[in-house]
């Protein structure tokens, strides 16, 4: 059997991820309807871990193991687990935990399937609203995506930089947050406006739907973006992981037709490592 023949169909992995994400979203919605409890904190006292976060990840891992016991796992709240199948699941059980804590309806279950080091399927499900974004790679490597089972509208059309709405997020680390704020002050006058939605996965999917024109953030993790990144690329976006001014991973996402101009504006504002802000711009 060839390596190609031994690969699991990406569409089947996406279907499994969607089934599991729906179950996890039911759990998250149920917990949201009760008193939300904080189980722990992570990088700082404001970086919270709701108890529902851990319960959601336990459920996701259990359901995936029942169907695919030999797969590996990488999750935000649990330990990494090795596998032998060549498939690894990348899990964010609640992306947007502060939104969840406050009852803001923008938090998602994100599940991606990586095969031989490449993300081939992904699901982002807004647990508060039920909106489902699903993507997978076709046999020829082309990414395709849907929203609630139907066509995804796709990225916004070309627009001057001054008319682009940009989404972002801020670190829980105070020193990095200060760097981000200073750069944002320089970018803000050059774009239409800035939005802070509170879920990286949904931010990226909003680029895919044309609700915003771009997204950037330093300090995201692979579980924040793996599934949504595939959705965005299927919808006509270009994405990049580079190094930010604070020394951590910087993620950029924008329509392919305007990506280079957006990236240059980000560089000039001082978001990227090794680039002093162009104060004369």
**What is the tens place of the pLDDT at every residue in 202-251?**
999 999 999 999 999 999 999 999 999 999 999 999 999 999 999 999 99
Query: Are the CB atoms for 21 and 56 separated by under 8 Å?
Result: no
| pLDDT, tens digit, 9 for 90 and up, residues 237-277 | 999 999 999 999 999 999 999 999 999 999 999 999 987 67
- CA distance to 199, 235, 246, 263, per residue, from 150 (Å): 23, 13, 39, 31
Grade residue 29 by pLDDT with cuts at 50, 70 and 90: very high
Q: Which residues partner with 95 through β-bridges?
A: 108
Q: Under 8 Å CB-to-CB from 281, ≥6 apart: which residues?
A: 186, 190, 268
Q: Please give the structure tokens belonging to residue 261.
A: 């101009």
Confidence check: pLDDT of 4 > 60: no
| DSSP summary character for residue 128 | T
The Cα–Cα gap between 87 and 70 comes to 8
Pairing type for strands 237-243 and 165-168 reads unpaired
Grade residue 93 by pLDDT with cuts at 50, 70 and 90: very high
Q: Which residues partner with 133 through β-bridges?
A: 124, 147
What's this model's pTM, rounded to 2 decimal places? Answer: 0.91
| Closest among 112, 107, 120 to 8, alpha carbons compared | 120
* DSSP run (H or E) holding 101: helix 97-102
Helix (H, G, I), strand (E, B) or coil at 86: coil
């Amino acid at each position: 059997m060839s390596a190609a023949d031994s690969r699991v169909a990406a569409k089947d992995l996406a279907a499994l991820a969607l089934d599991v994400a729906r179950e996890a979203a039911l759990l998250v919605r149920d917990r949201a309807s009760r008193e939300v409890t904080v189980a722990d904190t992570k990088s700082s006292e404001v970086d919270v871990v709701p108890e529902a976060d851990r319960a959601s990840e336990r459920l996701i891992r259990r359901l995936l193991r029942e169907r695919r016991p030999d797969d590996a796992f990488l999750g935000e709240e649990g330990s990494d687990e090795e596998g032998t199948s060549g498939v690894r699941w990348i899990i964010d059980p609640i992306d947007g935990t502060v939104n969840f804590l406050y009852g803001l309806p923008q938090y998602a279950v994100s599940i991606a399937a990586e095969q031989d080091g490449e993300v081939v399927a992904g699901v982002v499900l807004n647990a508060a609203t039920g909106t489902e974004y699903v993507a997978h790679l076709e046999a020829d490597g082309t990414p395709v995506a849907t929203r609630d089972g139907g066509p995804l509208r796709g990225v916004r059309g070309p627009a001057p930089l001054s008319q682009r709405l940009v989404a972002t997020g801020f670190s829980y680390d105070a020193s990095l947050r200060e760097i981000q704020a200073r750069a944002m002050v320089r970018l803000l006058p050059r774009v239409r406006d800035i939005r802070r939605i509170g879920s990286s996965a949904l931010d990226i999917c909003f680029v895919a739907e044309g609700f915003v024109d771009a997204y950037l953030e330093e300090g995201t993790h692979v579980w924040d973006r793996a599934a949504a990144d595939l959705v965005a690329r299927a919808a006509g976006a270009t994405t990049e992981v580079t190094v930010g001014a604070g020394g951590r991973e910087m993620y950029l996402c924008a329509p392919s037709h305007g990506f280079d101009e957006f990236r240059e504006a980000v560089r000039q504002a001082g978001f990227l490592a090794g680039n002093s802000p162009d104060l004369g711009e």
